[in-house]
């Protein structure tokens, strides 16, 4: 876990956040044992901003690793911030409900929970193949 925290803290230093001035770093531990870091990258058209969590996940995917085991998110806030809804959905796409989500600030990990506790009613790929049943 310490390695994951250190990778997220290091990635945070590369944050491009001239609009919010809020640096976020994340690191994902993949099931194959590899770790990928990411930082938030803001854009003047706010909708094009990419969160640290998604940057880390997309880096992993780009390198051919696509099963998340854990993620650590580092901010300088107290308490640390959890992933946003879009990041939670992205985590759900590449990990199951048992993915460990570590919330940390610069002094260390403050809370660890499972993705299913952050996203109890996640929209899953299997929802796309199920048809709604009509009540009679």
* Residues known to be catalytic: 53
**Bridge partners (DSSP) listed for residue 53:** none
**Of the candidates 59, 63, 29, the residue with the CA atom closest to the CA atom of residue 41:** 59
Grouping H, G, I as helix, E, B as strand and the rest as coil, residue 48 is helix
Q: How far is CA 46 from the centre of its chain?
A: 19
Q: What are the Cα distances from residue 106, in Å, to 25, 60, 78, 103, 110?
A: 10, 23, 9, 10, 10
**Bridge partners (DSSP) listed for residue 50:** 41
Q: How far is CA 108 from the centre of its chain?
A: 17
79: preceding bond cis by omega (within 30 degrees) = yes
């Amino acid at each position: 876990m310490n390695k994951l925290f250190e990778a997220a803290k290091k990635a945070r230093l590369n944050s491009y956040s001239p609009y919010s001035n809020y640096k976020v770093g994340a690191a994902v531990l993949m099931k194959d044992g590899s770790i990928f870091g990411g930082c938030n990258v803001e854009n003047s058209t706010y909708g094009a901003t990419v969160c640290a969590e998604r940057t880390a996940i997309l880096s992993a995917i780009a390198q051919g690793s696509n099963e998340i085991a854990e993620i650590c998110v580092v901010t300088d806030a107290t308490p640390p911030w959890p992933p946003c809804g879009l990041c939670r959905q992205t985590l759900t796409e590449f990990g199951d409900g048992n993915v460990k989500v570590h919330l940390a600030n610069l002094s260390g990990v403050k809370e660890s929970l499972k993705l299913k506790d952050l996203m109890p009613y996640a929209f899953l790929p299997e929802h796309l193949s199920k048809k709604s049943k009509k009540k009679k």
